[in-house]
Structure 1
Amino acid sequence: MPFPTDVRVVDLMLNVPVSATNEEWYTQFLPLLMDKESRQAFKMPAQYMFKGIPNFDGVDDLIGHTFAEMDKHNIGTAMMGFYEGSDHIAEIGRRFGDRVLWELPVNPNEGMDEVRRIKRLHKDHGIAALSIFPCGLNPQVPINDKKMYLLYAAAVELDIPVMVNVGVPGPRVPMAPQKVELVDEVCWFFPELKFIMRHGAEPWDELAVKLMIKYPNLYYSTSAFAPRYYPKSIVDFANTRGANQVLYAGYYPSGLSLDRIFAELPEVPFKDEVWPKFLRDNAKRLFKIKDPA
């Protein structure tokens, strides 16, 4: 099944580095990490899982460099994290805002203050999605916890997807809040909610497929996985009844280079008709992206 080179890709997890190593992104994890290696040796909290993490020593224009890398691999639109008050984010918006979908990392521990923040930033900055890392919150919050319901309700009201890490987390923190079985209750109670599972769902990827068959508004993105490691259950699902529910997402620059991702993608055994949906069309529909993208 040849990889199409003429599809303008939508990448649902890509960010512009803020420094040579991006260690600034991971300070939030420090209180949760107990082992010495994670605290002192790792530059990113799941470093043991990745080889060849991109480094940007000597790159003066990190924003321009990132969008040049996107162009090299025919990525038209990228979903990036939005951080209020960041000069870095503001400059990305000024230079390339028409190619960015903003996702807002949110914290259910903040209660109604967080709901009000979500609505304000959605109105002022066009937030396209909410993102939640249940195991990375301090304190951690399970996917089906009552605190989460405030955020899910806000997403339904604003008609935007919520992107949630599921499965065993990479950082060495407890995994219980991200068990895939917890997604079932959320999809049952919020049938309108567009829920996108991030970061693999392993070792419960087969359960993730079962739940996607059950719930039409449940989706899977391939974030944080090199293409050679996409779960077979997910590839098989995309090639059969799940072609509309599996979406491409990378992990640049946190753990993977775009060169590696796009070198490995052609080896994924998707059917010909699945590739455009996976790389572009499903994301365009879900996030209401207008051409060109």
Structure 2
Amino acid sequence: MTSEADPAVETFDEYLSAYDRYDARHVVIHASDLETTFGVKIPNERVAEFCRAQSPRFIGFAGVDPHKGMAAIRELEHAVRALGLRGLHLPCFELKLAINDARLYPLYAKCIELDIPVTLHCGFNFSTATEVTYSSPLFLDQVMVHFPELRVHVAPPGWPWVNELIGVAWRHPNVFIGLAAVRAKYLAVAASGYESLLQYGRTILKDRILFGSAHPLVPLATAVDDVQSLYLPHDIKRRWLHDNAMRFLRLAPNTRKE
């Protein structure tokens, strides 16, 4: 569902044309505010300007810093109402906050009020400057009990807590699992830790798996080819690559012929 720059793309035009080659209807990109924890910020204004220039393909998600309190809530509302961004991105491990941290709750409530989804990091990370437990899916379960109306996209898909994430998604119909920042081909590899995601992703959770590339971690072509190589019915692949994201983002149905 999300994407950044492909390392194989050498120019801006080539970056854009990569999505043309796959006839991508929409691409989600996001801002990020990590000023408190890492001194880094990708402004919402910059993302909104890019999305306007490349409309209608690109959809922007806001990034705010929960450590800033009410300023973060006001910034989120401005990003949505004034800048036209359509979701919130919260990389909790980079924010050094657990998914169920009380400082995030006002933002979750604001997402419901604004009728926008939120993307959360939910899985392992390799940064020793932060903790892996911030992204535990069991914390997400507590959030969904308190905010059942919240639309949540979690990525990467939970490793090493894949089964826990599946259980949380099974319990909460507004939780969607993104195949971002991981090679989808590993879902079909025995003992990879992802095998159960393939089983549940083609059955009980078939309507709640979302494609993502997380460039530059996985190039776009590689990410698409990995999904296409899985032994899945065509209709399941279409749900993963297109239909589920359209429903999650509440976009108009695609009327193009396949």
TM-based fold match above 0.5: yes
> What is residue 79 of structure 1 aligned with on the other side?
28
Instruction: Report the Cα distance in structure 2 between the residues aligned to 1:229 and 1:171, rounded to whole angstroms.
Output: 22
Written as runs of structure 1 = structure 2, the 5 A alignment for 1:187-266 is 187-230=144-187, 231-252=194-215, 254-266=216-228
Deviation sequence 1:87-140 (CA, Å, 0-9, x none): x762x3343121111111222111111001100110112221111111111xx1
- Aligned CA-pair RMSD: 1.9
Unaligned runs of 5+ in 1: 1-11, 18-52
Q: Which runs of 4+ in 1 moved over 4 A?
A: none
Give yes or no for contact 2:73–2:110 (8 Å, CA) kept in 1.
yes
> What is residue 56 of structure 2 aligned with on the other side?
98
Do structure 1's residue 67 and structure 2's residue 16 form an aligned pair?
yes
Deviation sequence 1:141-160 (CA, Å, 0-9, x none): 11101001011001111111
Instruction: Report the Cα distance in structure 1 between the residues aligned to 2:64 and 2:158, rounded to whole angstroms.
Output: 20
Question: What secondary structure is seen at the aligned counterpart in 1 of 2:164?
Answer: helix
Give yes or no for contact 1:238–1:270 (8 Å, CA) kept in 2.
no
Do structure 1's residue 145 and structure 2's residue 123 form an aligned pair?
no
Q: CA deviation at 1:216?
A: 0.8
Do structure 1's residue 270 and structure 2's residue 225 form an aligned pair?
no
The percent identity for this pair of structures is 20
Deviation sequence 1:47-100 (CA, Å, 0-9, x none): xxxxxx7155xx3x41x22220011122121001143343x762x334312111
Do structure 1's residue 119 and structure 2's residue 81 form an aligned pair?
no
Q: CA deviation at 1:265?
A: 2.2
Deviation sequence 1:188-226 (CA, Å, 0-9, x none): 000101111111211111111111111111110111112
Instruction: Report the Cα distance in structure 1 between the residues aligned to 2:15 and 2:183, rounded to whole angstroms.
Output: 19
Instruction: Report the Cα distance in structure 2 between the residues aligned to 1:291 and 1:278, rounded to whole angstroms.
Output: 15
Give yes or no for contact 2:98–2:135 (8 Å, CA) kept in 1.
yes
Q: Which residue identity does 1:211 align to in structure 2?
A: V
Gap change, CA 1:163 and 1:84, over 3 Å in 2: closer
Gap change, CA 1:170 and 1:75, over 3 Å in 2: farther
Question: What secondary structure is seen at the aligned counterpart in 1 of 2:176?
Answer: strand
Give yes or no for contact 2:228–2:237 (8 Å, CA) kept in 1.
no
Deviation sequence 1:231-273 (CA, Å, 0-9, x none): 2221111211111111111122x21212222332222222332
> What is residue 289 of structure 1 aligned with on the other side?
251
Do structure 1's residue 155 and structure 2's residue 115 form an aligned pair?
no
Q: Which residue identity does 1:120 align to in structure 2?
A: H
Instruction: Report the Cα distance in structure 2 between the residues aligned to 1:244 and 1:174, rounded to whole angstroms.
Output: 31
Q: Which residue identity does 2:84 align to in structure 1?
A: G
Instruction: Report the Cα distance in structure 2 between the residues aligned to 1:85 and 1:106, rounded to whole angstroms.
Output: 12
Instruction: Report the Cα distance in structure 2 between the residues aligned to 1:179 and 1:94, rounded to whole angstroms.
Output: 35
Q: Which residue identity does 1:69 align to in structure 2?
A: A
Give yes or no for contact 2:157–2:165 (8 Å, CA) kept in 1.
no
Question: What secondary structure is seen at the aligned counterpart in 1 of 2:237?
Answer: helix
Instruction: Report the Cα distance in structure 2 between the residues aligned to 1:103 and 1:111, rounded to whole angstroms.
Output: 19
TM superposition score normalised by structure 1: 0.76
Give yes or no for contact 1:235–1:270 (8 Å, CA) kept in 2.
no
Q: CA deviation at 1:291?
A: 5.0
Q: CA deviation at 1:282?
A: 1.1
Q: CA deviation at 1:229?
A: 2.3
